[in-house]
Amino acid sequence: MSQEWEYYNHALVPTTAPHIVPDTSWMDDAGQWRKLAGGKRPLLARWITDFDCGHETEWWCLIKDTPFDIMSLKSNRRSLITRGLKRVDVKVIVPADYAEQMANVLIKAWKSYDESYQEKDDRKKLTEEFSGLTEETRGNTEYLGAFLKDTDTLIGYSIYYLYEDWIEYSVVKTDPEYLNTQVNAALVYYGLERYMKPGIRYILGGYRTMIHDSNYQEYLEKNFGFRKAYCRLHIKYRPWMRFAISVLYPFRNTIKRFEKNKWMYQIWCALRQEEIHHTFLNK
């Protein structure tokens, strides 16, 4: 059980494959919540069942479960990928070898997401973290680096977790200054060619997003043949969090009006997630 859950973004989420139903028998034991969260205080646990159920629901995983065929794309979408391959080189990297450049890409990406972001000492901390990710410490993780053609200038990277019969496409970060090189296309193409092999059920491209305002999942669907694997969302709240949700839920539309405020937006996202969760109750 201890290997099946991890703390992420104030919640406990499964580390198991989406098609595997995790053990939830511990949830009535208050002590297990902090134990599984490594001493932190999760607000809720979230998991799915009925993976790829065959009918549309309000929650999904984004997956790629067929070989990628660039010739099946429309010409304008093919051209995005071919432009990326002409301008960008992608290869497997060891983060420790590119720690400063990876930190720079991540900070520039954060700044593009949030104009109010202040760097402070993040650059130093990130460089130290990446420096600790050596070949010996990477575990089941592979990092792909994207470089300007014929140079050693890193302009993006992605992270994949490798499992026995499935792959998780976990992170992609690119330097917004170089988006016109189609660096994203080059990274995804290389990843599909490398990981979508016989014996792999699918590449997981993430779950329906709540907080991040991004059209990246739509980008993967349109250009690389990812699809929505619909499923059933489950949420178990800590007692005080359940009380807060129940009190605020009737006012979710009012709260949404203040979504430009960072904290109000996060509250609205939690309420929106509960609204989706409601669609699965009593079914």
Confidence band for 1, pLDDT divided at 50, 70 and 90: very low
Q: What is the mean pLDDT of the chain?
A: 94
pTM of the model: 0.92
Q: DSSP class of residue 283?
A: -
How do strand 88-93 and strand 5-8 relate by DSSP bridges? unpaired
Per-residue DSSP letters for 50-91? STT-SS--SEEEEEE-S---GGGS-HHHHHHHHHHHHHEEEE
- Would you list the domain boundaries of the chain? 5-63+232-278, 66-200
Q: Is the pLDDT reported for residue 209 higher than 90?
A: no
pLDDT band, residue 213 (cuts 50/70/90) = low
Distance CA 237, CA 180 (A): 43
Q: Which long-range contacts (CB under 8 A, 24 or more apart) does 239-245 make?
A: 241/43, 241/44, 245/270, 245/271, 245/274
pLDDT digits (tens, 9 = 90+) for 26-46: 999 999 999 999 999 999 999
Give residue 112's identity as a one-letter amino acid code. S
Which superfamily, per CATH, for 66-200? Gcn5-related N-acetyltransferase (GNAT) (3.40.630.30)
In this prediction, residue 114 carries a pLDDT of 82
Q: What is residue 139's predicted lDDT score, i.e. its pLDDT? A: 85
